[in-house]
Amino acid sequence: MAPVLDPMIGRYVRLKIDGVDHRIYFEEAGPEDGGGIPLVCLHTAGADGRQYRHLMADPEVTSRFRVLAFDMPWHGKSTPPDGWEKTEYRLTTASYTAAIRAFCRALELDRPVVMGCSIGGRIVLNLAIAHAAEFRALIALEAADFQQPWYDTAWLHRPDVHGGEVCAALVSGLIAPQGPPASRHETLWMYMQGGPGVFKGDLYFYRVDGDLREKVKTIDTKACPLYLLTGEYDFSCTAEDTLRTAAQIPGAQVTIMNHVGHFPMSEHPAKFREYILPVLAQIF
Amino acid sequence: MSPADRFARLPDLLDADADLRRRGRWVTVDCRVDIGDQPFFLGLENGALAAFERGARLMRSSAFTVRGTDEAWTQHWQPIPAPGWHDLFALTKRGVASMEGDFRPLLQSLQFFKDLLALPRREN
């Protein structure tokens, strides 16, 4: 019997981010005859590119798009840079932006679409602010210029609390109750697998360094279309947060997704599909 | 039935959930849960309720307390809670619940406690 294979293929790419050597893992799937509009997908804080596996297995998407999802440095199968053991991981607006642009350059992607979720959504807003001309379109999932914190990140990395379990337990409430249980728990499993302090380090960008209030007003959607989609059950980035952000950006298209929370692509792939296909249909 | 009356059935609900007791097998702690103005004292031992008392108790100590308004618990225990009422931290963020005390035992077993406090949802 022939093996049953998922369509995506995983590889490692060597590249420099801010002058530092990295070995980055990514998966991709696209049209059978090659080509396709590059669509780079950014995972949430403390997780990895597997969150997009359903999108990469959807022929209606991959018939027209070359979907690529890379694991951020320190995440998933991307190893941290040499000497990591002597540093405390902290993601910043600058380092995150540099990683995305380095990946797109290394893969020689021609004006890719970038879609990111949560911290990935926030950095997509920064790409729209600072580098719009490099991209064909930008899609921000669960994104806002700023969100009110709802817990103390100090609990995410300490020896007397299991990091993976507490990360998963905290974010479990961001998943909508209507999604399939298997998808809920697959989403949480990725959080349980994160390296020590990595989720906390990502949230440094989210909470401290990545405040985009005022800056989003400078986004020019004529230079690059911007789409914002947020799940109604996301109480971290609420619908109100996204609507407030979109209201400051002329031309931004905003959608509030029913029966979805903070992880639309992995917590409820079938529902997310209903919302993302009409967005992708507008991109050429 | 009042939210406190619903929560009073917690021992039976936990007894009926072998998986939750399995996941809570490391949990041994005394804690307090307020349903509106009704305090409940929970004595957890290895994930089971060794003690469960309703009402004020003089000088009773507990590691931590979780408090919520009657509306918070009523909404939280809907078969499918509305957005913003569906998680303990959604309730604290909107200001209808709070947590205080020693957070360590709570966060060491956070999913267990979230699921424990959501058990009355099953009795709809």
Q: Which domains does chain A have, with CATH numbers?
A: 9-280 (3.40.50.1820)
A217: CB partners within 8 A, 6+ apart: A248, A249
Give backbone dihedrals phi and psi of A188, rounded to 5 degrees, phi first.
-70, -35
Query: Does residue B30 fall inside a structural domain?
Result: yes
pLDDT band at B123 (very low <50, low <70, confident <90, very high): confident
A19: CB partners within 8 A, 6+ apart: none
| pLDDT computed for residue A231 by the predictor | 98
Query: Does residue B111 fall inside a structural domain?
Result: yes
What's A120's DSSP letter? H
> Does B72 touch chain A if contact means CB atoms closer than 8 Å?
no
Q: Work out the percent of chain B whose per-residue pLDDT is above 70.
A: 100
Token readout for A270 is 């079938």
Cβ under 8 Å to B: A residues 105-164: 148, 150-151, 155, 160-162
For residue range B23-72, what is the model confidence (pLDDT) as tens digits?
999 999 999 999 999 999 999 999 999 999 999 999 999 999 999 999 99
| pLDDT computed for residue A89 by the predictor | 97
Q: Cα(B39)–Cα(B25) distance, rounded to whole angstroms?
A: 24
Quick check: A27 pLDDT over 80?
yes
Range A179-200 average pLDDT: 97
For residue range A91-120, what is the model confidence (pLDDT) as tens digits?
999 999 999 999 999 999 999 999 999 999
Q: Which chain A residue lies closest to B99 (C-alpha atoms)?
A: A151
Query: Does residue B74 fall inside a structural domain?
Result: no
For residue range A175-188, what is the model confidence (pLDDT) as tens digits?
999 999 999 999 99
Q: Cα(A123)–Cα(A253) distance, rounded to whole angstroms?
A: 17
**Are A160 and B89 inside 8 Å of each other by CB?**
no
Is 0.90 exceeded by the ipTM? yes
> Does A40 touch chain B if contact means CB atoms closer than 8 Å?
no
Domain span at residue B53 reads 3-67+99-123
Q: Cα(A201)–Cα(A215) distance, rounded to whole angstroms?
A: 23
How many structural domains are present in chain B? 1
What's A78's DSSP letter? P
> 3-state secondary structure string, B43-57?
EEECCEEEEEEECCC
Contact B48, B81 (CB under 8 A): no
For residue range A210-269, what is the model confidence (pLDDT) as tens digits?
899 999 999 999 999 999 999 999 999 999 999 999 999 999 999 999 999 999 999 999
Radius of gyration of chain B, Cα coordinates, nearest whole angstrom: 13
Query: Does residue B31 fall inside a structural domain?
Result: yes
Query: Does residue B79 fall inside a structural domain?
Result: no
**Are A161 and B108 inside 8 Å of each other by CB?**
yes
Q: Cα(A230)–Cα(A254) distance, rounded to whole angstroms?
A: 8
| pLDDT computed for residue A165 by the predictor | 98
> Does B122 touch chain A if contact means CB atoms closer than 8 Å?
no
Nearest to A166 by CA among B105, B116, B94, B92: B105
> Does A172 touch chain B if contact means CB atoms closer than 8 Å?
yes
We report the CATH number of the domain holding residue B114 as: 3.30.1050.10
**Are B89 and A170 inside 8 Å of each other by CB?**
yes
User: What mean pLDDT value characterizes chain A?
Assistant: 97
Q: Cα(A267)–Cα(A43) distance, rounded to whole angstroms?
A: 13
